[in-house]
Structure 1
């Protein structure tokens, strides 16, 4: 019976072995590069997370500091603390300094508004206007305080003789909340025209207030003003009429 001859496996050629080795080394290098990339990405994410945590802590810390100073300023401004015995002017000056410190740490809507009010109460209308405008630019989306800011801004402009700017502020007030404060804007405009001696314009504003907002808290005042002005106008017209009588022959 013939013997089965087993074939020996062919040895790899040196060139093939080198090629396999080269491919293996390339794969190893690629793995190392990818590992480095992963390490870099993970490191970046870790650093970003640490920075975010630090920022949040710092922001929270700053907010806490600003709030503490603002509360102290509120106590002085509203005469609720130990300084309530101080004269109003002294309280406003002290509160002003505290509000400024609070804003230097971190500005808040209430601190900015009350800082403007301190200037306003002290008769420094230019600085009051400046702070109110800072509020409008920085916290214009705050619909709770914005109407009050526009009222004070208009009043500060009126008191400083900048009537056009004041009327612009009342116009902006009339637009807040879809016209929810238009009655107040009309009242401020009517009062201005009344004080300026422009009876016709004042009457127009008062009548618009009563007509458009009969349930407004200002409608009673507007009604009284309309009655007074109408009476004065009628009296003036009567005085100007020449006395009637039969013509002399």
Structure 2
């Protein structure tokens, strides 16, 4: 008599069964949403391409603006002192190139410096009103650029001084004192003091010179400020009263 060994039917462990079931559901969902997934993937690829294209374009325009800025500065700095005609031509070429950077590439990193240099070049060419407009444009467009903002206000003040507008010049110098991180506050105080002196206001001049000495004792303008303080204090001190004339001596009797 033969015996048959019964082999129990193979069953999946509970965890494996759940895994297979979950995988089947996932594959079914993938088939169900295949089209939306493909569309989403395509959109992601397109967005990446657009971003990459924008970054590439920005890099190209930034490079062109930097090249123009460098060329303009070369013209500005290589004006020969012994050839006025060539110097004037170089200055005009620099102005044209700086304008091109500002007008065609205003959002590039080179644009703020180009606009500042444009104002300086116009001031050098004695186009004072145009220089003032350039400096004001910088303040309006790139006022967040604190590394240059103080210098822009200083140049703006000098431009107003050339026009004889002392009030606007003083306002521009005073603005420098309120710019966080400005590196030319000592210079602004010195120029404010000089403006006060030029308008015969010694008290205001003394106040600015003294603030300069107190706040920036190591400034290159501190020595001149100390000299001016002494000069102003001498002017303030009252003149000594004139000595009373000595009484006439009594006439001496003639000796015979």
Report if TM-score (shorter chain) is over 0.5: yes
Structure 2 residue 33 is the aligned partner of structure 1 residue 41: no
Paired residues, number: 216
Question: Greater CA deviation, 88-97 or 225-234?
Answer: 225-234
Distance in 2, Cα, partners of 1:173 & 1:122? 25
Instruction: Tell me which residue corresponds to 1:209.
Output: 212
Question: How far has the Cα of 1:48 moved from its partner?
Answer: 1.4
C-alpha spacing 1:38/1:194, structure 2 compared with 1 (3 Å): same
Q: Cα distance 1:83–1:202, how it changes in 2: closer, same or farther (>3 A)?
A: closer
Q: TM-score, normalized by length of structure 1?
A: 0.73
Q: Deviations over 1:28-63 (max 9, x none)?
A: 9x8676222112212221221121121112111111
State the Cα distance separating 1:77 from its structure 2 match: 0.6
Is the Cα–Cα contact under 8 Å of residues 170 and 195 in structure 2 kept in the other structure? no
In the aligned structure 2, how far is the partner of 1:238 from the partner of 1:135? 50
Indicate conservation of the 8 Å contact 2:174/2:192, yes or no. no
1:220-239 counterparts in 2 under 5 A? 220-234=223-237, 237-238=238-239
1:99–1:112 CA contact under 8 A, matched in 2: yes
**Cα distance in 2 between the residues matched to 1:210 and 1:113:** 30
Unaligned runs of 5+ in 2: 1-27, 248-256
Q: Distance in 1 between matches of 2:236 and 2:129?
A: 37
Which has more helix, going by share of residues? 1
Structure 1: segments with no counterpart, 5+ residues: 1-27
Q: 1:84 to 1:70 in 2, by over 3 A?
A: farther
Structure 2 Cα separation of the partners of residues 162 and 43 of structure 1: 62
Given that 2:192 and 2:208 are in contact with CA atoms closer than 8 Å, whether structure 1 keeps it comes out as yes
Q: 1:125 to 1:32 in 2, by over 3 A?
A: farther
Cα offsets for 1:203-249 (capped at 9, x unmatched): 22112212332221101111222233333444xx439x6774589xx
Deviations 1:102-153 (CA, angstroms, capped at 9, x unpaired): 2223232221110010112222233222222332333333343222212112
State TM-score, norm by structure 2. Answer: 0.71
**2:182 is the alignment partner of 1:183:** no
Q: Deviations over 1:61-87 (max 9, x none)?
A: 11111111111101011117x999555
